[in-house]
Amino acid sequence: MAISGVMRPGHCQLRVLNLDESVKFYTEVMGLKHMGFDAQGRAYFKCLDELDHHSLILRQADKAGMDFYAFKVRDKATLEQLDADLRAYGVATERIPAGEMLETGERVRFTSPTGHVFELYAEKTMVGNGLGFEAPEAIIDGRRGISPIRLDHWQIHGPDLDGSRDLFVKVLGFSLVERIKAEDGVTDVAVWLSCSTKAHDIAFVRDERANTLHHASYLLGTWEQVLKAADIITIHRVSMDIGPLRHGITRGTTIYAFDPSGNRFETFCGGYDFYPDMPVITWPFEEMGRAVFYHTRQLNERFLTVVT
Ligand SMILES: [Fe+2]
């Protein structure tokens, strides 16, 4: 499938309680590259292998959580079309001018039925990964910390899951890849959606707490790197949620832990390739444990209850 329209998760703005401590954490433990601060004092980061200027922005605040989630779209014509499509669907949109965020073009902002603020944008300065585009080396030398490949996806919670699922599928062109059903066998309690050939680019979970973040996920290359991430998490005494483990959903391997502000992050590896002719995978309510934690087949209380 040629990827058109919405291409991938592009950036997100995370609220942190202590900016200095968080800059140190995301640089030294997560192993992201600090790209500098803007005039508002926000800190910008990219994963080493990402090409665009940044994928994470940290903003100091009194409360943890995510300000907004952004997807990069194919080009400016696509941005205009999706803005028109959102408004035609009844979603109010707002334009954030180019330059409000470092090295980033105009953004189209809207709020989803689950209460989350999303952005679409087409332009961000490509700074590259340092390897160049002519006969590049195959690895980036000098990595430190967990050092993920890229920002991969988000899992976010809110009451109107149906509304956000339909908006993403009908207007933004996402595919429904997997779902967990409620005990009634009809209602979706969680959905995994893809705008690419990844098993998911975003997941929505039905939860009475609107506009909440369950986790931001970062991609690793191998299961061994997930295990190494677990070692780094312990060396730095990072607050752990659960892992290393495998998901039934997506088949990915993973660890969940918390940044210094209590925002959960995931270091994720694997997952199958999705193509749009694949039937939707459905998990009945009684298989939820195996769907989420494939080996223990049981959910833990903290994983179910803690969001920011
Ligand atoms: Fe995830």
Give the type of residue at 153.
H
Please confirm, yes or no, whether 200 is among the known catalytic residues.
yes
Q: How far is the CA of 272 from the centre of ligand 1 (A)?
A: 14
H-assigned helices in 72-158: 76-89
Query: Is residue 3 predicted with pLDDT exceeding 90?
Result: no
CB 238, CB 257: distance < 8 Å: yes
Query: Is residue 27 predicted with pLDDT exceeding 60?
Result: yes
* pLDDT (0 to 100) of residue 198: 95
Task: Identify the active-site residue in 26, 50, 215, 218.
Answer: 215
Place of tokens 């990069």: 72
* Euclidean distance between CA atoms 260 and 20, whole angstroms: 11
Q: Map out the domains of the chain with their CATH numbers.
A: 6-121 (3.10.180.10), 150-305 (3.10.180.10)
Please confirm, yes or no, whether 54 is among the known catalytic residues.
no
Task: Identify the active-site residue in 50, 103, 178, 266.
Answer: 266
Sign of the CA dihedral running 161, 162, 163, 166? positive
Please confirm, yes or no, whether 247 is among the known catalytic residues.
yes
Average pLDDT, the chain: 96
Query: What is the pLDDT confidence band of residue 102, given thresholds at 50, 70 and 90?
Result: very high
Place of tokens 């500098």: 36
Task: Identify the active-site residue in 153, 157, 178, 214.
Answer: 153
Residues with beta carbon < 5 A to ion ligand 1?
155, 217, 266
Q: How far is the CA of 84 from the centre of ligand 1 (A)?
A: 30
* pLDDT (0 to 100) of residue 299: 87
- Per DSSP, the residues of 53-91 read S-SEEEEE-SS-EEEEEEEEES-HHHHHHHHHHHHHHT-
pLDDT, tens only, 240-286? 999 999 999 999 999 999 999 999 999 999 889 999 999 999 999 99
For residues 2-30, average pLDDT:
96
Task: Identify the active-site residue in 54, 157, 200, 214.
Answer: 200
* pLDDT (0 to 100) of residue 300: 86
pLDDT, tens only, 192-232? 999 999 999 999 999 999 999 999 999 999 999 999 999 99
Please confirm, yes or no, whether 294 is among the known catalytic residues.
no
* Euclidean distance between CA atoms 7 and 201, whole angstroms: 10
Q: How far is the CA of 98 from the centre of ligand 1 (A)?
A: 30
* pLDDT (0 to 100) of residue 270: 85
Residue 137 to residues 29, 60, 134: CA-CA distances in angstroms? 25, 37, 9
Query: Is residue 1 predicted with pLDDT exceeding 60?
Result: no
CB 159, CB 114: distance < 8 Å: yes
Q: How far is the CA of 7 from the centre of ligand 1 (A)?
A: 18
Q: How far is the CA of 198 from the centre of ligand 1 (A)?
A: 12
This prediction's pTM: 0.96
Q: For 7-34, give one letter per residue: b (16+ CB within 10 A) or e.
A: bbbbbbbbbbbebeebbebbbebbbbbb
Cα 161 to chain centroid, rounded = 17
